[in-house]
Structures are given as structure tokens and as C-alpha cells.
Amino acid sequence: MMDFLLDTLPRKLMVATAAAAAAAGLSLLLARQFQVERLSSEGTAESLGRAIALQPENAELHNRLGRMLLFTAEGDPARSAMELERAAALDPRSGRFWVDVSMAREMSGDMPGAQKALERARAAEPRTPFFLWQQMNFALRSGANQQAIDMGRELLAQAPEYTLRALPLLAQFADMRALVETVVPQVPTALAATIEYLCNIDQAEAAQPAWERLVALGNPPPPYVLRRYVDTLLNKGALAPARKAWTESIRRGWVEGDAEALSEPLYNADFRRPLLNFGFDWRVLPHPEASAWIEARGPQPGQQSLCVQFADGARAEYYHLRHLIPVQPDTVYSLHGELKTNRLVSRSGAYLEAAEVQPKPHAGITTLPLMGSSSWEEVSFRLTTSPEAQLVLLTLIRPAPIASEPPASGLVCLANLEWKALGPASLQNVGRTGR
């Protein structure tokens, strides 16, 4: 290593001059960079143009200016295309720059050029699903439907998280069942997203193949998808697949149900299991003037009850505690249970009602109402189902008070419920009896 001795004045002056020159050059670079960042942050076409004049090799600046000129009303399509092309030329390894070039070419009517730019984007970043997504959309816009399907299959195989975005587009020209069979990959995330999409468009029946494959994989769907699937099927009157999905979910431990109680006519009639709040269990719908809970006290020691407390000043009608029950047509059913009230200020009281809801609504039948304060009292009714009956809704009701009545505050509890089929209506000398 050679030492440079500063033992003479000329040497000292030479070193000082070199240091000053280096510092000045660095200062100029920093000043220019600061000015470029300031102009870039202003974000106008004029400021970006001035920034490019200072850094003509900055691909990002060319791309920003090109996009601004492309997507603003006062833009310049020709200059926009030039700036976007320049950005891609400066940094050809950036796929997004080529996507912007493709958009500019497509907007000018150059469809072959747009396709080539998308191919360049994909080649630049082959592992990035976004560019395959762009190619699929371009194929759809170009009318190349089969090509779009093929790209959709490739996209979802590579990135199942695109399922909810791709299916609505592909479903516009392809059969949904065929898409589930040939495009959606057999992985839990994609199958669950497929079920969610079909429920969103009220076509839960078409989701059955996706559900069956999901079950075969043994992977639980997200809880909200499972609940949505079962309840959408119920709302559509598709009772058989709803019961199947409900049963499979409980038996596989996907929800906190009781597999041994699935055969009970009224699931969770004794309130000893957590309220699942969907399917064939109790549902407690939100109500601004009421709260519900399970209480470890019932008519007899060891029994439990479900209680609803109405707030002081409560005036809105309450029908927010309910249970769906599968039934057979032309059959007589009986309900027995026990209700208790405490300071229930309501002239109409509180009572249980059963009414057919599938395949079409029917008038309901109710127990006798309870009001004021009472100990546990037995309530019951008999219901004869119609020739087409499939599903009955059991509801706890407390009607709204009329304007001249006081607020309907207080407490009501129910326990020890039993729903029983008594036999075919033709063999029962009974009608629709109750309240």
C-alpha cells in the first residue's frame, strides 16, 4: 500500500481541490434528486415533464406521465403512448409497464399490439398471477372465450385467491357447472370461494358439486361460507342438500354441534348445546330492544332455559327467536313446552307460533299468551301440515304495543320443548288447534 504524504503545499492544495470537486458533484446530484422528488410529488403533467427533463432515464416518471395522459379527459393519447412505450423500453423487466402499454394500444385500436404487450408482461414476470389475469380479461374483451376459459383455468391453478374475481366474468358465457368441473381447481380455498360466489348470486343449488368435493377433501370451509351455504339452500327450499350439509358439518366437527342429537325432531330443544344461530338450530336475530341468553335454570333441577329480556321502553315487535323444523306433508304434529314471564308489560303477552314457510307460507298456529309475572306454565298446540309442507318455522313472538299502551318491557323464558309427529292427518281426528 502506498502512502500519500501531504508534506508540501502543492500536494495539500491538490487534495483539497479534489475533495471540493467531489463534494460539489455530490451536492449537485442530491439537489437534482430533491428537485425530481418535489416535482414528482406535485403530480401534474407539467411537473412530471420537468422531472423527466432532469432524469430522462427514470422509467417510473415516464410511466406516471403516460398513465396521467391516458386516463385524464385533457390527456394526449399520442404522447401518452410514447411515454408508456419509453418506460417499458427503459425497464423491460417490469410487467406492469407492459400492461400499461397494452392498455394504450388497445384504446388506440391496436389489438394485436395490445396482445403482444401483454405477452411481454407475462414473459417479464411469469410467476406473477396479475399478468395472467390481465391476459384473461383481454381475451374476454376480444371475444376469445375459449382462450379466456383456458387462461382462467391456468390462473386459478396458480392463484386460487382469484376465484371470486374470475368466476363472475367467465360465468357470463360459460355454464357454471362446467366451470366448477373444469376450471375451478380442487383446492379448499377455490372451492369455498366458488360456494360463496354462487350463494351471493342466489344459486346455492349449483354449488353442490363444489361442496361435495370440499367434503371429500376433508377441509372445512370458512365458517361464514358454511353458514351462508346452508341458509341459502334453506331459503331456496332446497331442504335435502341443506340437511346433508348441516349434518356433514356437525359430524365432521366443522361447527360446534352435537352429532348424537341430529336425529331429534327439534334440535337443541333443551338448550343444552351452544346456539349455532343458523341451519336447523335456534337463531337469535339482532333486536335493538332485546337481549337473549341461555340460563342454567329451568322448570326442574338440571334443566336449562332460553330467556329474552325486553328493555325498558321497548315498543318494537319481537319475532327474533326462531327455529326451522323439517316436517312431512299431511301430518299432525304437537308442540309441548313451558314458558315463564317476569314483569312482562304487554297486553298481548308472549307466545310461540308455528307456521309453514316452505315451499310457501301458511297461516300459523300459536300457544296461549303469557303476560305479567308467572311461574313455569305448560303450553302446547297441534299443527296439521299441508299436502306440500316441507319446513315449519317456530317463533317466539311478543307483539308491539299500540300507541295507547305502555312499553312492552319484561322477561320471557322457554324450556323443556318437545316437537312430536303424531301421524298422518288422515288417521288423526284433529285439525289445526292451539291458541
Residue 9 has pLDDT above 90, yes or no: no
Take residue 76 and report the three cell numbers written for it: 394526449
What DSSP designation does 296 have?
A: S
Compute φ and ψ for 75, nearest 5 degrees: -75, 175
- The pLDDT tens digits of the residues spanning 318-358 come to 999 999 999 999 999 999 999 999 999 988 999 999 999 99
**Beta carbons within 8 Å of 61's beta carbon, 6+ residues apart:** 36, 40, 48, 51, 52, 55
Residue 3 has pLDDT above 60, yes or no: no
The neighbouring-strand residues paired with 309 are 291, 411
Please tell me the distance from the alpha carbon of residue 434 to that of residue 397, in angstroms, as a whole number. 15
**Beta carbons within 8 Å of 304's beta carbon, 6+ residues apart:** 270, 271, 272, 294, 295, 296, 297, 298, 415
User: Domain residues of the chain, as ranges?
Assistant: 28-261, 282-427
> Angle CA(272)–CA(276)–CA(280) in degrees, nearest 5?
90
Q: What is the pLDDT of residue 431?
A: 47
User: pLDDT category, 432, cuts 50, 70, 90?
Assistant: very low
Please tell me the distance from the alpha carbon of residue 409 to that of residue 425, in angstroms, as a whole number. 40
Q: State how far the alpha carbon of 373 is from the alpha carbons of 285, 341, 349, 409, in Å.
A: 25, 5, 11, 12
- The pLDDT tens digits of the residues spanning 63-113 come to 999 999 998 876 788 899 999 999 999 999 999 999 999 999 999 999 999
Q: Sign of torsion, CA 18 20 24 30? A: positive
Find the mean pLDDT for residues 4-19.
Answer: 56
Residue 17 has pLDDT above 60, yes or no: no
CATH 1.25.40.10 fits 28-261, yes or no: yes
DSSP of 33-48, one letter per residue?
A: HHHHHHHHHH--HHHH
First to last CA, the chain: 108
Take residue 400 and report the three cell numbers written for it: 308491539
Q: What is the pLDDT of residue 118?
A: 97
Please count the other Cβ atoms lying within 10 Å of the Cβ belonging to residue 388: 12
Find the mean pLDDT for residues 27-47.
Answer: 75
User: pLDDT category, 376, cuts 50, 70, 90?
Assistant: very high
Q: What is the pLDDT of residue 31?
A: 66
Q: What is the pLDDT of residue 71?
A: 85
Q: What is the pLDDT of residue 77?
A: 87
CB 258 within 8 A of CB 266: no
Please tell me the distance from the alpha carbon of residue 83 to that of residue 351, in angstroms, as a whole number. 73
Q: What is the pLDDT of residue 387?
A: 95
Cis omega (within 30 of 0) for bond into 265: no
- The pLDDT tens digits of the residues spanning 396-421 come to 999 999 999 999 999 999 999 999 99
In terms of residues, how long is the chain? 435
Q: What topology does CATH give the domain 282-427?
A: Jelly Rolls (2.60.120)
User: pLDDT category, 214, cuts 50, 70, 90?
Assistant: very high
Query: What is the percentage of the chain residues whose pLDDT exceeds 90?
Result: 78
